Structure 1
């Protein structure tokens, strides 16, 4: 197995390569406005560090979000293009699951909450029993509206760090890690586990919409 993992659902542009036993190379940069510019050079860097070409990759895993529209699409489209080019299967994983796995690797014990910044004074969030077990589906909410549900639970992620009044004692990891995503995916592949389709998990409608009431102009 040679698994390539990419995720652009958060401000982090993150790539990792996993050989089925461990992560052999990874690259991480945080820049919420340059996903499209940074992702391919990061992939090149990781492959070069590992001393392999793209066609050596046997599987691709991509974070499907939840996340903002533009950044999220960069990773998904790139993963789909790579999969088509080399004939490798593309597996989707929830971005919050990757953060939960990274949190467990960093010593966070469950149960806990993962929350990323959803903008608009909201967070994408989910509860976890441990770094591999999510409770329910990811959601997007205002922090104050979920205060009772997350009270007393440790929290990780940039969204939790933004709202200390709801997530007191929030800690890192702050952003997604493709290394953790790759490790989680390698475990699932080895165990014959299931994955999500490599399609975006938005949780809410995009900002840009077709106007409902617009003036129709016809030729005279």
Structure 2
């Protein structure tokens, strides 16, 4: 049954890289790395650690939950490339999971069926934003906004009542009329939520077609003439 699948979670889209084995909705083993510039160098060791601690082999993995962004351009590419490589090499199906959706999913475990606004630091004075209704359906977003435009965007989406907001970056913003949920599970994308969203999908994505969700166009530097 789908709920008993063994899911290997790989996400390096944010400052906190995660590799985790989730079986039957329970995190069996998990490894973190919080130095974004060395996520790539740590992925193999993190995966080995998780498999050894869980007593599992890659042959026992039923599905990959792959962090597809948004997040840092390099981070998203690193994690997706690594996870897709595992999938191709071992014949494991994978599902791309959006960072902001995983955060909203985890928040609903805390606040119930309410609209959630997910915020993620996009650097350069901007924030990635998206809204999700009480059933997890995406409303507006994902998009990137200047920090001083986030309040106006939320006012447009939900003009009345307190808004449930998740994401560690929210504490750095001057937001009004919000209920800020601070919890490790939804400050950034978490393994349990990512695995649950991957399992909820009826079928895996075509890994050959799975692309990063950058939201903001990458910076392009023209070569010197």
Runs of 4+ that moved beyond 4 A = 166-169, 193-197
1:204 corresponds to: 216
SS of the counterpart of 1:106? helix
Cα distance per residue 1:57-108 (max 9 Å; x no partner): 1211201101111111111011111001101112111111111112222346
RMSD (CA atoms): 2.3
Deviation at 1:195, TM superposition (A): 5.6
Deviation at 1:210, TM superposition (A): 2.6
2:11 corresponds to: 7
Alignment check: 8 A CA contact 2:70 2:99 kept: yes
- Does residue 162 (structure 1) correspond to residue 140 (structure 2)? The answer is no
**Alignment partners' CA distance in 1, 2:218 and 2:177:** 27
Using the size of structure 2 for normalisation, the TM-score is 0.83
1:176 corresponds to: 189
Using the size of structure 1 for normalisation, the TM-score is 0.84
**Alignment partners' CA distance in 2, 1:30 and 1:84:** 27
Distance 1:53 1:193, change over 3 A: closer
Q: Which has the higher helix share?
A: 2
**Alignment partners' CA distance in 2, 1:177 and 1:9:** 11
Deviates more, 1:61-70 or 1:147-156: 147-156
1:218 corresponds to: none
Cα distance per residue 1:118-142 (max 9 Å; x no partner): 0011001101113632213311111
- Does residue 139 (structure 1) correspond to residue 143 (structure 2)? The answer is yes
**Alignment partners' CA distance in 1, 2:176 and 2:74:** 28
Deviates more, 1:115-124 or 1:160-169: 160-169
Which aligned pairs between 1:37-76 and structure 2 lie closer than 5 A? 37-76=41-80
Q: How many residues align?
A: 210
Distance 1:131 1:167, change over 3 A: farther
Find 1:123's aligned residue among 108, 127, 142. Answer: 127
2:159 corresponds to: none
**Alignment partners' CA distance in 2, 1:133 and 1:58:** 25
Distance 1:194 1:86, change over 3 A: closer
Deviation at 1:55, TM superposition (A): 2.2
Deviation at 1:208, TM superposition (A): 3.3
SS of the counterpart of 1:5? strand
